[in-house]
Amino acid sequence: MRIQSTSTLSTDLIDQTNLTDQIDPSPSTSLCWYALRTRSRHEKRVRDRLDVAGIEPLLPTVMRLRQWKDRRKKIEVPLFSCYCFAQFAWPDRLAVLRTPGIVQIVGNGYGPEPVTEDEIQALKALMASALPYDAYPYLEEGMAVQVIRGPLEGVHGILLRKPKPFRLVISVNLIRQSAAVEIDADDVAPA
């Protein structure tokens, strides 16, 4: 059994706590777009606070009809619940993280990761267009899905083809056999 000195242990702890300082997903002075996870129903407040702080926010919204007992009203809601986007340089991340309502900067398992400029431009173009749009489940070929409507409701399978009509593969793992069925795109959701 090897015993480490306390000075080595404290140095190791300091190295682990400063891990976010070591992660540098972008050049230090360039502006990048990041996805920010927000507290529930704080997206608009976060957008406004970032704007006041001089950080460029992007919050895609959509108009939805809400109904109460006594009235119906169209209201503006975030397209992606609990997410907002912001453009900032990596050294300015602490100002962003200290903004009330922000939970974290979204990334992979190794730290925050910038959103590609193409994806941001696509969102901006979508928002500027007059075309109707709404959130849609993120589906990829090979993804496990569940049928939510129709005669196959509740069935789990694997999405084989994305364009309409979807091809759903239902597998029996024990006997290593599968069956495929074409279903409407609106009838599946991620499992």
In tens, the pLDDT along 67-126 reads 988 999 999 999 888 999 999 999 999 999 999 999 999 988 888 989 888 888 888 888
Mean pLDDT, residues 2-30 taken together:
45
Number of domains in the chain: 2
Q: Is the pLDDT of residue 54 over 50?
A: yes
pLDDT for the residue 2:
40
Where does a domain end: 128, 154, 178? 128
Q: How confident is the model at residue 47 (pLDDT cuts 50, 70, 90)?
A: very high
Mean pLDDT, residues 58-75 taken together:
91
Which of 147 and 73 is assigned the larger pLDDT?
A: 73
Give the Å distances, CA to CA, from 88 to 45, 51, 79, 104, 119.
18, 12, 22, 14, 16
84: containing domain: 29-128
Domain check: are 117 and 41 in the same one?
yes
Residues near 19 by beta carbon (within 8 Å), at least 6 away in sequence: 111
Q: Which residues of 159-170 are buried (b: 16+ CB within 10 A; e: fewer)?
A: bbeeeeebbbee
pLDDT for the residue 33:
93
Say if residues 126 and 70 touch (Cβ distance below 8 Å).
no
Mean pLDDT, residues 165-179 taken together:
58
Domain check: are 100 and 157 in the same one?
no
pTM to 2 decimals? 0.67
pLDDT for the residue 42:
97
Q: What share of the chain is helix, strand, coil (3-state, %, to 5)?
A: 25, 35, 40
CATH of the domain at 60: 3.30.70.940
Domain check: are 80 and 160 in the same one?
no
In a domain, 13, yes or no: no
CATH of the domain at 174: 2.30.30
pLDDT for the residue 122:
85
In a domain, 135, yes or no: no
Tokens representing 140 are 């990829």
Question: How do residues 87-96 score in pLDDT, each as one tens digit?
Answer: 999 999 999 9
Amino acid at 139: L
Say if residues 168 and 145 touch (Cβ distance below 8 Å).
yes
Distance of alpha carbon 187 from alpha carbon 141, whole angstroms: 16
pLDDT for the residue 152:
78
Q: How confident is the model at residue 14 (pLDDT cuts 50, 70, 90)?
A: very low
The beta-strand segments (E) located in the chain are 31-38, 56-58, 61-67, 72-78, 83-89, 102-105, 107-108, 111-112, 144-147, 156-161, 166-172, 177-183, 188-190
